[in-house]
């Protein structure tokens, strides 16, 4: 069974990611979705009043837990409207979102974490969207980041963005094979040349590593690597961009506010962050 973990905070960003997960589960047989909401109250909050002079009492906490559980059930109903046969579990934890995600992943076999990325107009809307990078860095399993305009499409073509540097150390082959073995998709490997000379030895290593998947190799010149990748994905009508974030520089820039228009606003393509 494929299990998808979807952290939610009841924002439009998170709801969109949850609905995307429901459509994905409809396309994938024998799958389960876990909706996770984290309600963490620090010691500081339980002692001192808020700016509105409200003290977080036990009664307040109990009321908030009830409200959140009801919101989780409402979201579950919306997802079942998309996929009536979906198996959906809801969980409310009292830890921080990051700790909650890691604990859930350690407790059961999660195949994929699905989160929404905030768009430019909603950059402060979702705490989860704002912490996409932190979640991705800490997650031991792949993370799929869904931009606001990304509607679910059957994955037929994926772009693997790679700079052909230290490919043996950078490419998470186990995770990549796991994804590609479950989807009959066309793989396009893209190198964006930002002025660096391609290392032919590294290029050969890459061809050997990926030969079982019969990918097509493409080379493009673009001063802005992210714009180049997004443009290529759009021209090729790809349904997915696969990022290899060994050092996270590429993924961080993808979701950084200053370049939000480059992917999370203009792109309709989700980004899969792979890790071994």
> Model pTM?
0.84
Identify the residue with better confidence: 223 or 254.
223
Identify the residue with better confidence: 119 or 2.
2
Using an 8 Å Cβ cutoff, are 2 and 59 in contact?
Answer: no
Supply the mean pLDDT for the chain.
Answer: 80
* Alpha helical stretches, state H, the chain: 12-27, 43-47, 58-82, 97-107, 127-130, 132-138, 167-170, 173-182, 200-210, 225-235, 249-255
Spatial distance between the Cα atoms of 266 and 148, rounded to a whole number of angstroms: 9
Using an 8 Å Cβ cutoff, are 133 and 247 in contact?
Answer: no
Q: Which domains does the chain have, with CATH numbers?
A: 2-146 (3.40.50.620), 157-273 (3.40.50.620)
Asked whether residue 262 carries a pLDDT value surpassing 60, the answer given is: no
What is the sign of the dihedral through the CA atoms of 219, 252, 11 and 33?
positive
Q: How confident is the model at residue 195 (pLDDT cuts 50, 70, 90)?
A: low
Using an 8 Å Cβ cutoff, are 164 and 198 in contact?
Answer: yes
Percentage above 70 pLDDT, the chain: 75
Q: pLDDT digits over 12-43, tens only?
A: 889 999 999 999 988 777 789 999 999 987 65
3-state secondary structure of 227: helix
Which residue in the block uniquely carries the two structure tokens 């860095």?
137
Asked whether residue 202 carries a pLDDT value surpassing 60, the answer given is: yes
pLDDT of residue 3: 93
Q: What angle do CA 172, 176, 180 make, to 5 degrees?
A: 170
């Amino acid at each position: 069974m494929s299990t998808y973990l979807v952290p939610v905070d009841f924002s439009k960003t998170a709801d969109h990611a949850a609905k995307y997960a429901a459509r994905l589960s409809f396309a994938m047989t024998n799958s389960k979705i876990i909706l996770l909401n984290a309600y963490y109250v620090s010691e500081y909050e339980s002692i001192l009043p808020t700016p509105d002079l409200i003290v977080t009492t036990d009664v307040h906490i109990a009321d908030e837990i009830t409200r959140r559980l009801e919101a989780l059930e409402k979201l579950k109903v919306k997802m079942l409207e998309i996929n009536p046969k979906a198996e959906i579990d809801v969980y409310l934890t009292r830890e921080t979102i990051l700790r909650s995600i890691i604990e859930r992943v350690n407790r059961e076999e999660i195949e994929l974490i699905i989160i929404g990325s905030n768009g430019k107009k909603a950059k402060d809307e979702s705490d989860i969207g704002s912490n996409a990078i932190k979640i991705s860095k800490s997650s031991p399993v792949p993370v799929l980041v869904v931009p606001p305009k990304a509607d679910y499409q059957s994955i037929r073509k994926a772009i693997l963005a790679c700079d052909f540097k230290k490919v043996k150390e950078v490419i998470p082959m186990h995770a990549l094979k796991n994804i590609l073995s479950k989807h009959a998709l066309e793989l396009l490997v893209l190198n964006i040349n930002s002025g660096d000379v391609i290392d032919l030895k590294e290029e050969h290593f890459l061809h050997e590593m990926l030969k079982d998947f019969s990918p097509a190799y493409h080379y493009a010149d673009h001063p802005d690597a992210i714009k180049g990748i997004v443009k290529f994905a759009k021209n090729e009508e790809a349904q997915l961009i696969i990022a290899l974030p060994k050092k996270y520089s590429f993924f961080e820039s993808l979701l950084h506010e200053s370049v939000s228009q480059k992917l999370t606003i203009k792109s309709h393509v989700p980004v899969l962050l792979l890790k071994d």
